[in-house]
Chains A and B, each alone.
Chain A
Amino acid sequence: MKGIRAIIAIALVAIAVFGVSAQSAYPTKPIQVIVPAGPGGDTDLNCRIMGKYLEKELGQPIVVVNVNGAGGSLGTRKVKDAAPDGYTALFFHPSMFLNTILGLVDYDYTAFENAGIGVLDNTNIFVVSASSPYKNVTDVINACKAKPGAVKFATETGGLTHIQALAFESEAGIKMNIVDVGSASQKIVALLGKQVDMIGISYGIIKDYVASGKFRVVGVFADERNPAFPTVPTFKEQGVNLSFTKFFFYLFPKGTPQSVISKFDAALSKISTNKDLIADLGKFMVSPTYMDPATANKYMAEQYAMYSKYKDLITNAKVEKETVKQ
């Protein structure tokens, strides 16, 4: 009996050891990271830069795969339906919340395994032309109070800047004329061509226009001023209690083994303090900020709740726009 027990025990240990060693061998082949946006945008660039450092840590190539379209939902769905083997991951930002809130998809981030947050972008700003009469947030609010809809604000419907604009309206108790112009570069064209008065965008994209004196930043949605552009006041300083952070997270398909997530997460944690990575991301004014899966989950739940608050605003805004047109 003792002998048999011993054999079983040895066998169990062997299986355990073997199992663990097989799992700790992850990754044994290249990892696909799906970017649900086109090449060249901020999500793509951040993902590629992170990938460059992650692959050194994980010892396998990180293959960035762009699956663009339908507000990113084609890409998120592809990852959701992928095999949960740790070789397909998603890299995305809070636009994913909006897809759920707007009813574009019937799942949210909890349909995935969270592998942590890697990058924070605290450069969400509102910008006007340098020749604009609006010097700061107060000017914008006063103009809209005097004449509702006086300020023409360009956004991409259903995008993060759309939520920011709606939240700003409701917080300040004003009404702007929110119009859709499309992507970030189309917003720049619209502002340069004086077709609109104000746009919502990331600082890194327009920093040269600020330096060359064409654009003026009226405020940044953050708790504190951004050290990269310390002269720009926050919205909070100007009496509008709003703060938005664009954060970039990694998700794996539901059912991906915990050991795989831990391994990936450990690599993410390790590279977040790498000086070269900080410098590379710094070119775009964003910073590697590590949050482990549990913290990230909690943070994302808070953020999701915050965005959900604006659900009525955004769906009403849609209805309103439609009736104006008819």
Chain B
Amino acid sequence: MIVLGVFVGIIFGCIPGLTTTMAVALCIPITFGMAPTMGMSLLMGLYIGGTSGGLISAILINIPGTPSSVATTWDGHPMALRGEAGKALGAGVFFSFIGTLLSIIVLIFIAPPLADFALQFGPTEYFALALFSLTMIGTLAGKQLAKGIAVGLLGMVLAFIGIAPIDAFPRFTFGIPDLDGGFDILPALIGLFAVSEILAVAEMDTELKKENVLTNFKMKGFGFSVKEFFEQFWNMFRSALIGIGIGILPGIGGGTSNIVAYAVAKSQSKHPEKFGTGIIDGVVASETSNNATIGGAIVPLLTLGIPGDTVTAMILGGLMIHGLTPGPLLFINNADVVYGIFVSLMIANIVMLVMEFFGIRVFAKLLRVPKHILLPVIFALCVVGAYGLNNRVFDIWVVLFFGVLGYVLHKLEYPTSPIILGIILGPMAETGFRRGLQMNDGNFFAFFSRPITVVFIAATAFMIIFTAFRNAKNKRNQAASV
């Protein structure tokens, strides 16, 4: 059951447009007829397989298979272009394994205190966290700081569209009912990263044939050395912590954690300028953190009955169908199911490692499929995926809109990643801010009176000053060298 789950999960994960959430949604009705533990093992397999499967297409064709693998494309694909696809895949798979493993260990041993920590997060904390994460735009944009900020703001502006938080009034919808729901994050992502990439590739059709021949594929083991593993040790650990932390917080998941972990790895690195050129650090940060989110997201699910991300929201429904209410009594009344979930997570993780390790060679053959055949197929799948998400034709237009937007930004040499941070974090900051004010009777200083909030706001200030300082220094250096 687990093996089947992991397999289906990987397939859903690696196909752009089809996500883990969708795989779980499709399989939940199948679990109705099974014993709870059995059904849960299937779902856990899907969860782990789906989250790591996204790295395959991210590295090989520069299109993230799921939102969790967006940051993997930034270094993974340049590596593949250099002929190091095997190394990138190997590292991605191995560190996905490590990320999941670390998060499961955390889940098993310290879930209850962690859940208590998550309860400390009220609206003010979410606002501060979103604010801090927005400073990552500075890191991601690198030298193109102004352009990065512009694109990040564009993302936030696009996220304004739809029903406003709290007072539920439709904003910027121009009377178009379809816009009432706003832009969903997934169609936006598919458009920005998949469709715009397809458009960009279509443009250089003459070079297509050459590129395919280039892929000379050789690898031993996981493709990277023991020395490289130890170099990545701290990066791996930090990314796993980021992943677990973001996973625990309800409402945000792997789609956020991989970008944040990447940005943090970049800002902490001794050689941030190499990020994006195809170094293993980027792949490690992204893939460790997105899989670490799994264990993190299951912490509040099992201990509080509160889902940490969209997939666990679905799994919660699956548990309830079996008459199991996750929450304070699950560990007491249904310990067998809880341990069943732990065990199946462990097994699924190992199955994922083995399956993807041997699968790498098969996946790499995908590259031999000429792009003029492969990409239209992917395009069709993107459209299917966008529709399947919420069963609305409108979402297909959203995909196309963001595809063109991404393509135009790419042409004008604007970075596209900040837009995603804007779309995810803008509403989080707004909602947190307004709810925070409402809850504290409109007292603005409430944002500076809670310890967690203060830490994040201080970190935000530090990041802004640090980025400004570094930019000024870079400018001086440039001026000096001229």
Contacts and interface: CB of A to CB of B under 8 A. Distances in A.
Interface of A: 34, 38-41, 44-45, 48-49, 52, 65-71, 73-74, 77-78, 102, 104-105, 152, 157-158, 177, 179-182, 185-186, 188-190, 192-193, 195-196, 204-205, 207-209, 211-212, 214, 283-284, 318, 321-322, 324-325
B70 to A, nearest CB: 23
A283 B320 contact: yes
A104 B328 contact: no
Contacts of B32: 52
B123 A102 contact: no
A193 B316 CA distance: 21
Contacts of B166: 157, 180, 321
Contacts of B168: 71, 102, 104, 157-158
Interface string B308-324: 00000110110011010
A324 B442 contact: yes
Interface of B: 25, 28-29, 32, 118-123, 162-163, 165-168, 170, 177-178, 180-182, 184, 250-251, 304-307, 313-314, 316-317, 320-321, 323, 325, 327-330, 390-392, 431, 434-435, 437-439, 441-442
A102 B166 CA distance: 13
A52 B32 CA distance: 10
A313 B109 CA distance: 49
A73 B179 CA distance: 11
Nearest to A98: B168
A70 B163 contact: yes
A157 B165 CA distance: 9
B184 to A, nearest CB: 8
A40 B177 contact: no
A275 to B, nearest CB: 16
B391 A209 contact: no
Contacts of B162: 69-70
Contact of A192 (B304, B329, B437): B304
Nearest to A52: B32
A152 B317 CA distance: 29
Contacts of B184: 69
Contacts of B327: 208-209, 212
B329 to A, nearest CB: 4
B250 A185 contact: yes
A189 B390 contact: no
B180 A69 contact: yes
Contact of A180 (B307, B325, B435): B435
B122 A190 contact: yes
10 contacts: A45-B320, A69-B184, A73-B177, A74-B181, A105-B177, A182-B431, A185-B306, A189-B250, A207-B325, A208-B327
A104 B181 CA distance: 11
B328 A209 contact: yes
